[in-house]
Structure 1
Amino acid sequence: MDLTVSTILVAFAGVLLICFMKGAFGGGFSIVGIPLLSIVMDPVTAGGLLAPLFIAMDLFALLYWKPSTWSKPDLVRLLPGLVTGIGIGYLLFRFLDHRAISIVMAATTLIFVSLWLVAGAEAMIRPRSTPKAITAGLASGITTMVAHSGGPPLAMYLLPLGLSKEIYAGTTSLFFTVGNATKAVPWLLLVKPTADVWTLMAICLLAIPAGVWLGWRFHGALDQRQIYRVCYGLLVVTALKLLWDGVSGYLA
C-alpha cells in the first residue's frame, strides 16, 4: 500500500461510512465500508488497518449506546460463542477457504431475508433460544475474524426477537465491542502493519467522532419499523457483497 493522497481520502471515506453504520445500527454492517478500502489496498491490509480502528469506533459508539440499551440476557448467551469463534477463526485463518465461507454466509443470509419477506415481520418473531444464540455467536466470531462480516449471524438471531430499535442497536454495539477488542491482537499478529498503515490509522481516527454522531442522528430520525426495514435491506447488501467476494475469488 502506498500512502498517497488518494489512499488517504478513500480510506478516510471508508472509515467514515463504517462509523456511520455503527452510530446508526450499533455495528454489524461494517462490511459495507470495506469495498471502498479495497480500492486502494488488498483485503488483508484493510483488515490490519481496521482492527485497531474498530476498537476506537466501538468505544466512541458506547457514548451513545449506554448500558440501558443492552439486552443483557441475550449478551450472556451470545458472547461465549463469539469469543470461541474468534479463537477458531484465528487458528484456521490460513487454512479456511474464505471464498466458500463467504458464499455459504451469503446464501444463508439471503434465505433468512427471503423468509422475512414471505412471512412478514410479525410471523418472524421468535422467542429466545440458548442453542441458537450460541450458534449465532460462534458463527459471528468465525466470520468476523476471517472476513470482518460477523453481522449477519448476529442479526439473524436478534432481529426475530422484536427488540426495540434502541435495544437492538445497543446490544449489537456491545457485542461487537467485545468481538473487535478480542480479534484486534490476532489480526495484528497475522498482518503486521507497516509504518504507512499505522500512519493511515492515525489519520482515519479523525473520522470516528463525526461518523458515529451522524449515524446516531440518523437512527433517531427513523421509527421502529423503518429501522428494521433498513436492517433487513442492509443484510441483502451484505449478502451480495459476500457472494461477490466468494464467486469472484473462484473466477479469478
Structure 2
Amino acid sequence: MLELSIGFFALAAPAVLFAGISKGGFGSGAAFASASILAVILEPGQALAIMLPLLMLIDVTALKSYWKKWNWPDARLLILGALPGVALGALLYRSANADVLRFLIGAISIGFVAWQLARRNGLIRMSGRTASRPLGLFAGLVTGFTSFVSHAGGPPAAVYLLSQNLAKNQYQATTVLVFWVINITKFIPYAYLGMFTAETAFADMLLAPFAILGAWLGVRAHRIVSESVFFGITYVLLAMTGSKLIWDALT
C-alpha cells in the first residue's frame, strides 16, 4: 500500500524536480537518481511506476527545445538495441523479488559513480575513435535493460554517444529523443506487469508540476550551469542512496 504522506512528498517533490533538471539539461545520465531516492522509502516497483509517467512528461516538455537537433543515425541505433533490452528487463522483473531489485538499483547507482570518477581521473579513457554500429546496438541493449529495471539507461547511452564526438546541443537532443521513445516502450510492459495503481497515478498527478518545472529549469541550466557542479551533487546522492539500497537488500 502506497502511503501519500507529507514525508513522502517532502522527499519525492525535490527528487522529481531533480530528474527534470537532469533530463532537460544534462543528458539524462543522472535522472535515475530520483528512482533510487524513492526506492529508499518505497517498494522498488512502486518507485519505478511513479517515476515512469513523470519521466515521460519531462521528455515531452524538453523535446520541443531540442526538436530535430539530434543525430538520427545514432538515436536509431540506440533505440533499436533498446527494444530487446526492455524485453529482458521485463522478464527479470517477473521473476525477481524486491530485494533483488533494490540490489540492482543500488549497484547501478554505485557503478555509475565509480565509472564517472574513474573517467574524470583518467583511469578510464575513451579511445577517441567513433564506435561501430554493433557497439551502438549493444549500448542500446544495455540502455533498454538498465532503463527498465532502474530508469538508469543514461550511463550506457552516454558511453556510446560520447564516442561519437557530438556537439553539446546535439548530444543533449539525441538523449532526449532516445529516452522519449524508450520510456514510451517501457509503459506497455509496466502496465502489463501491474506496476501502475490508483495510488501511483494520484501521486503522479500531484508531482507533475515539479516534473514540468524541472524540465524547464534544466533546458535553461544547460546553457549556464557547470556540469561539474551538477554532477558533483549527483554523485553524492547516488553514493548515499545506492549504499542504503544495497544494505537493505542484503540485510
TM-score tier by shorter-chain length is 0.7 to 0.9
- In the other structure, the counterpart of 1:75 is 75
* DSSP-derived class of the 1:44 partner: helix
Partner Cα distance (1:196, 1:111) in 2: 36
Per-residue Cα deviation, 1:192-238 (whole angstroms, up to 9, x for no partner): 4332222111111112222111111111115xxx54x5687588558
Number of residue pairs aligned between Structure 1 and Structure 2: 246
Aligned residue in 2 for 1:127? 130
- 1:251 is aligned to 250
Identity %: 29
The aligned residue for residue 90 of structure 2 is 90
Residues 25 and 221 in structure 2, CA contact (< 8 A), matched pair in contact too: yes
Distance 1:9 1:108 in 2: 26
User: 1:18: Cα distance to partner?
Assistant: 0.7
SS at 1:94 equivalent: helix
Deviation of 1:169 (Å) = 0.8
Alpha-carbon distance between aligned partners in 2 of 1:114 and 1:248, rounded to the nearest angstrom: 23
Asked if structure 2 preserves the Cα contact closer than 8 Å seen for 1:31 and 1:149, the reply is yes
Q: Structure 1 residues 35, 86: CA separation in 2 closer, same or farther (over 3 Å shift)? A: closer
User: TM-score, normalising length from structure 2?
Assistant: 0.83
Distance in 2 (alpha carbons) for counterparts of 1:33 and 1:105: 11
Match of 2:186 in 1: 183
Seen in structure 2, the aligned counterparts of structure 1 residues 235 and 118 have a Cα distance that, compared at 3 Å, is: farther
Tell me the TM-score normalized by structure 1. Answer: 0.83
Does residue 104 of structure 2 align to residue 103 of structure 1? no
1:126–1:204: structure 2 CA closer, same or farther, 3 Å change rule? same
**2:122 counterpart SS class:** helix
Output the aligned Cα RMSD.
Answer: 2.9
Would the alpha carbon gap of residues 28 and 246 (structure 1) be closer, same or farther in structure 2, given more than 3 Å must change? same
For residues 5-20 of structure 1, the aligned pairs below 5 Å read: 5-20=6-21
Q: Which runs of structure 2 are paired with 1:173-252 in the superposition (5 Å)?
A: 173-222=176-225, 226-227=226-227, 229=228, 240=239, 244=243, 247-252=246-251
Q: In 2 relative to 1, CA 93–14 (structure 1 residues): closer, same or farther, beyond 3 Å?
A: same
**SS of the counterpart of 1:38?**
helix
| 1:130-169 alignment, distance < 5 Å | 130-169=133-172
Q: 1:117 to 1:39 in 2, by over 3 A?
A: closer
Describe the SS at the equivalent of 2:28. coil
Whole-angstrom CA distance in 2 between matches of 1:13 and 1:101 = 19
Report the Cα distance in structure 2 between the residues aligned to 1:128 and 1:5, rounded to whole angstroms: 47
